[in-house]
């Protein structure tokens, strides 16, 4: 089995990220080469657990317990974290033992937060099972849950010591969920590696995941706590989040909203100095990957939703522009100017 490895040097230690087909089948051995637990607790969800939990559990010759959360973003809340704490205590987990997150970004975020806070921090391994979680959420140490007031409002930075990425598990993903992850893949191409955009649809997904994780690792390593550069990962997300909010998070998936947001951001980039309008070629790639490209929402409503987002600072919005494919810039744009431009694009 060919395994690619990347390491992220975080402020609190190193995170090893392994990528390879079939890695799930040797996950326990990989964990035991890094951790020395007396017991293991796995957190998964009601869709992923029937598919992969037994396969993982059966590899350990140690006591293994599990929490299976109901699947879905609506369960990414504090009560899920509390459920995990109770299960960890019931299992007799100590600070030497290992917590594994087996699932998509929702399971990863909840479990990461539980691991960061249980006994003030227990060792964590992420085994991401969606494309989005493999290229984005499992790497970089952001963990947390939603509150009724908004998404991701409570959380912590907590790097997993180990991330095991097995692209084989993507074979069971519903096409829409796979497409959501492709939106983030395309995002990486736009902001940091234009060659990646040519790779999509031609190269093995394993190589594509590797290129994406490498970009995320590099960005996080330079700005672990999200005070500057890490913002470029939000390309397409400012308008995307506004659309998601307008749809009450049910009409559009995150990837679909980001896709529409990226095309709009590309048009804005052109209006703000990009020599070429790259929105056409971007829309073609998105469409070929089952993603929407047209911003259908009322522009006034988008503008208002965007301004209420946490990323605004006074009267300027830090906007991520791509004026040259493969390079992102953080550009403060006056709210009034943005308003004007949004009505034109
Ligand atoms: N921490 C970060 O840096 C970060 C970054 C981006 C997104 N996120 C968070 O990630 C979450 C979204 O993650 P997601 O898109 O993975 O959603 P998800 O975890 O809800 O997974 C999507 C669906 O796919 C199912 N699933 C997962 N793996 C599967 C598999 N291999 N086969 C079949 N079904 C499978 C899940 O049960 C779920 O129903 C959001 O809560 C978002 O806030 C976090
Ligand atoms: Zn995203």
pLDDT in tens, 103-148: 999 999 999 999 999 999 999 999 999 999 999 999 999 999 999 9
Whole-angstrom Cα distance, residue 247 to residue 254? 11
Please give the average per-residue pLDDT across 17-45, as a whole number: 98
**The domain made up of 175-344 is a member of CATH 1.20.1090.10:** yes
Tell me, what's the pLDDT at 315? Answer: 83
pTM, entire model: 0.97
Whole-angstrom Cα distance, residue 209 to residue 289? 15
Whole-angstrom Cα distance, residue 93 to residue 114? 13
Domains 4-172 and 175-344 share a fold: no
Instruction: Give 249's pLDDT tier (boundaries 50, 70, 90).
Output: confident
Tell me, what's the pLDDT at 345? Answer: 87
Whole-angstrom Cα distance, residue 307 to residue 239? 10
> What's the 77 CA to ligand 1 centre distance in angstroms?
14
Domain chopping of the chain, boundaries? 4-172, 175-344
Shortest-distance Cα residue to atom 3 of ligand 1: 137
Could you say which ligand is closest to the alpha carbon of residue 132? 1
Q: Which CATH architecture has domain 4-172?
A: 3-Layer(aba) Sandwich (3.40)
Please give the average per-residue pLDDT across 165-194, as a whole number: 98
- Residues with CB under 6 Å of ligand 1 are 45, 47-48, 51, 71-73, 76, 103-107, 109, 129-130, 132-133, 136-137, 140, 142, 151-152, 169, 172-173, 177, 180
């Amino acid at each position: 089995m060919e395994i690619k490895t990347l390491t992220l040097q975080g402020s609190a230690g190193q995170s090893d990220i392994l990528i390879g087909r079939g890695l799930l089948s040797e996950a326990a051995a990989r964990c035991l080469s890094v951790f020395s637990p007396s017991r293991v607790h796995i957190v998964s969800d009601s869709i992923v657990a029937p598919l992969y939990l037994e396969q993982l559990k059966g590899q350990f010759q140690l006591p293994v317990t599990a929490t299976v959360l109901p699947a879905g973003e609506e369960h990414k809340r504090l009560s899920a974290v509390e459920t995990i704490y109770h299960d960890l205590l019931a299992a007799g987990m100590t600070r030497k033992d290992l917590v594994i997150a087996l699932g998509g970004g929702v399971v990863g975020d909840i479990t990461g937060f539980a691991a960061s806070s249980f006994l003030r921090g227990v060792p964590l391994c992420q085994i991401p099972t969606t494309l989005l979680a493999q290229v984005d959420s499992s790497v970089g140490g952001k963990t947390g849950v939603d509150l009724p007031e908004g998404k991701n409002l409570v959380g912590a930075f907590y790097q997993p010591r180990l991330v095991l990425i097995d692209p084989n598990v993507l074979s069971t993903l519903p096409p829409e969920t796979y497409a959501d992850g492709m939106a983030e893949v395309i995002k990486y191409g736009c902001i940091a590696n234009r060659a990646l955009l040519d790779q999509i649809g031609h190269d093995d997904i394993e190589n594509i995941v590797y290129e994406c994780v490498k970009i995320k690792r590099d960005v996080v390593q330079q700005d672990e706590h999200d005070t500057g550069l890490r913002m470029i990962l939000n390309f397409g997300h400012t308008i995307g989040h506004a659309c998601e909010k307008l749809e009450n998070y049910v009409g559009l998936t995150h990837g679909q909203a980001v896709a529409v947001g990226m095309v709009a951001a590309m048009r804005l980039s052109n209006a703000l100095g990009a020599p070429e309008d790259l929105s056409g070629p971007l829309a073609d790639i998105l469409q070929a990957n089952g993603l929407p490209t047209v911003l259908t929402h009322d522009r006034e409503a988008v503008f208002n939703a965007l301004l209420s987002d946490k990323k605004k600072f006074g009267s300027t919005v830090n906007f991520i522009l791509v004026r040259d494919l493969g390079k992102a810039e953080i550009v403060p744009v006056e709210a009034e100017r943005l308003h004007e431009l949004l009505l034109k694009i």
